[in-house]
Amino acid sequence: MLKHRGFPGRLPGTDLQFTIRRANPRGITPLTRRERYADRRPADRAADAAFLAALWEHFGDAPFARGNLDAGRLSWLFGREVLPAEDPFDAASYDALLRVNAEIARASFPEVFERGRSA
């Protein structure tokens, strides 16, 4: 399993994780698209935005391996802001390639992309 060095491990001040420490010996958690409803907690919405910002900062729109990125956190963005970058795609592989869909990500999380312009 590829470890993404320098990638934040969690959202500061919370227990919401962005990476895992080691591969799951009982099997890899597959990526699935999770619906984001309007009544989600503010911390969850902040975690989605921070995770997307970290993905964009580390990878841009280039393909990247899933590696040690948390499946649960990826699943909140999967199918919209994060898409498979290979065909066929194995949702239960640490080597699966993904990419950020910049167009959808900008529409869903404009604050992530506005930060870069004002800095």
**Rounded CA separation 19/3 (Å):** 9
**Rounded CA separation 6/24 (Å):** 21
Is residue 53 within 8 A of residue 100, CB to CB? The reply is no
How is residue 74 written in tokens? Answer: 């990826």
Question: Phi and psi dihedrals of 57, rounded to 5?
Answer: -65, -40
**What are the CA-CA distances from residue 1 to residues 31, 45, 49, 93, 94 (Å)?**
15, 28, 25, 9, 6
pLDDT digits (tens, 9 = 90+) for 41-92: 888 999 999 999 999 999 998 999 999 999 999 999 999 999 999 999 999 9
SS3 content of the chain, % helix, strand, coil (to 5): 35, 10, 55
- Is pLDDT at 25 greater than 70 in this prediction? yes
pLDDT digits (tens, 9 = 90+) for 99-119: 999 999 999 999 888 865 443
In residues, how long is the chain?
119
Q: Say how many domains are in the chain.
A: 1
Residue the block writes with tokens 């990526």: 31
Q: Which domain holds residue 63?
A: 1-119
| The model's pTM | 0.88
